[in-house]
Amino acid sequence: MRFSSLFGRTIREVPSDADLTSHQLSVRAGLIRQLAAGIYSYLPLGWRVLRNIESILREEMDAIGGQELVMPVVQPAEIWRATGRYDAAAPGPALLRFKDRTGHDMVLAMTHEEAVTNLATTEISSYRQLPMMVYQIQTKFRDEPRSRGGLIRVREFIMKDAYSFHADVASLDAYYPSMYQAYLNIFDRCGVASIPVEADSGIMGGSASHEFMVASEAGEDTLIVCPQCKYAANAEAAGFVKGEGVPGAQLPLEKVATPGTTTIEQVANLLGVHTNQTLKAVFYSKPQGKVVFAVIRGDLDVNPAKLSNRVGGVELHPSTAEELAAAGIVPGYASPIGLKGVQVIADDSINTGNNFVVGANQVGYHYRNANYPRDFAADQVADIALARDGDRCLRCGGTLQTTRGIEAGHVFKLGTKYSDAVGATFLDRDGVAKPLIMGSYGIGTGRLMSCIIEQHHDDKGIIWPVSVAPCQVHIVSLGTNKPEVLEAADALYARLTARGYSVLYDDREESAGVKFNDADLIGIPLRVVLGPRGLKEGKLEIKWRWDAEPEMIELDGAVEHLADLIERERSKATRFRARKA
């Protein structure tokens, strides 16, 4: 690949709309260009990185028995209606719906559980075919309301999505660790330090899931980790030790005046109680404006993701004053006591003590000695609490810490959610039809490319790991107007490419400074410089992108020397190990 004919150019200025380092460098290095909000073109250098990532994905999926296929991104609405996701609040408007020319309802798929389960109804019939795993690397579309971070959160994206089918839960449980390990291998081979965390299954559903997070201050996700036992979870799903409320015999409900106390701290101070002896009222609303009343012990906070899951995965927003007024709720003095027509979800911390202080649904008044279920009812009592920095670990009692991360991959145990919905069954050993047990496993390739850049860059540009770099060698020719330099550079380029190495050859008539700056910005691992001075001595200059200083080597035998360097660098990375499928 000659730089003079490369489609795509480097950019000196930092894009004004790019906050994340990976976004800035992807644009400046000529990897991507934005067509519309959350929709990008991959230029040749960026596409080469994706192709290398895809090769790693295919090798790891094939190693655990995967079979590659491709399913349509344009799908009939019927299969999404069958699973309930077409009309559900989640994914809601993120699922792009349209009609074809005949008026038939269609969607642009954001994931392929419906399509692959539909395929399973015709292709899997017997227990003898199970377990089975299929995967694809294909375009998806999610109509994100807030695209951000370049390829981190986009509307159109490429994903490796895999789906496994099993005869029983035991088979899924036995297979899941092999996929989990394959994901660890993928991130290792791409040079990314990943943190597997317990996660919320969200709209996908299922009994369990894990995210593979890349630690980054730019990440949207908050991770909860325990340094002692290595427990790690997304804050959306993390559990923690909630401690106890105040014990004691239940006392009669008592209404007391509490003027000017609209916060937990104010009422606790006025009545001389700890915040763990109060119940906090938190209000979220569904898209249609219906209020969800969350009740939690006063020293804890509500986790919106956990609360959303308890009301069917619907997207919630903090209730407005108008929505609260319409529901008859008195802000600052609300409680579920005597309240009607509002869905009440209570955190299980209401069972950790007695005689709580709660609002009296009247301005300036609270109740003392409120007890569940004696004094109020809840539609559900469950864990809806948010784990925070400093909370105690459920597993070892250690102190939890928070960090930020970017989700790079997600694996799910789906169970029979989709097979039940579409009637995907198999005949067991006794000839009885049973629903297929499923797993689902995804990695966004563009997002993974951005994660690599987030972890591999400096103030000059990208520093690609050899395994995923757009090219392995970057030849810089200085003095292209000198025949001896041109001849030597052309010969080296031809010999390296003939040996199977990918090379970006900067043959432009530009200054050395421009060429070196572009080489650092693009970040190809091994830079090779040929110039008049070095050639007079029969030498050329080489430098790894991550090294501070270059070194000189003999021109004679340079190809063999460079090949040896590249192979040794490859061997340092986590290598693909064949495993029994």
Tokens for 519? Answer: 């080489």
The rounded radius of gyration (Å) of the Cα atoms in the chain is 29
Separation CA 357–CA 370 (nearest Å)? 6
Residue 333 phi/psi, 5-degree rounding, is: -135, 25
Contacts with 514 (C-beta within 8 Å, 6 or more apart), sequence order? none
Separation CA 96–CA 86 (nearest Å)? 10
Contacts with 577 (C-beta within 8 Å, 6 or more apart), sequence order? 63, 185
Q: Are 210 and 98 in contact (CB under 8 A)?
A: no
Position of tokens 């960090």?
403
Per-position pLDDT tens, the chain of length 581: 999 999 999 999 999 889 899 999 999 999 999 999 999 999 999 999 999 999 999 999 999 999 999 999 999 999 999 999 999 877 889 999 999 999 999 999 999 999 999 999 999 999 999 999 999 999 999 998 888 889 999 999 999 999 999 999 999 999 999 999 999 999 999 999 998 988 765 544 556 789 999 888 878 888 999 999 989 888 888 999 998 888 889 999 999 999 999 999 999 999 999 999 999 999 999 988 899 999 999 999 999 989 998 898 788 999 999 999 999 999 999 999 998 889 999 999 999 999 999 999 999 999 999 999 999 999 999 999 999 999 999 999 999 999 989 999 999 999 999 999 999 999 999 999 999 999 999 999 999 999 999 999 999 999 999 999 999 999 999 987 789 999 999 999 999 999 999 999 999 999 999 999 999 999 999 999 999 999 999 999 999 999 999 999 999 999 999 999 999 888 875 443 333 22
**pTM of the model as a whole:** 0.85
Q: Structural domains in the chain?
A: 3-9+16-239+401-454 (3.30.930.10), 254-382 (3.90.960.10), 471-572 (3.40.50.800)
Q: Kindly report the three-state secondary structure assignment for every residue of 444-458.
A: EHHHHHHHHHHHCEE
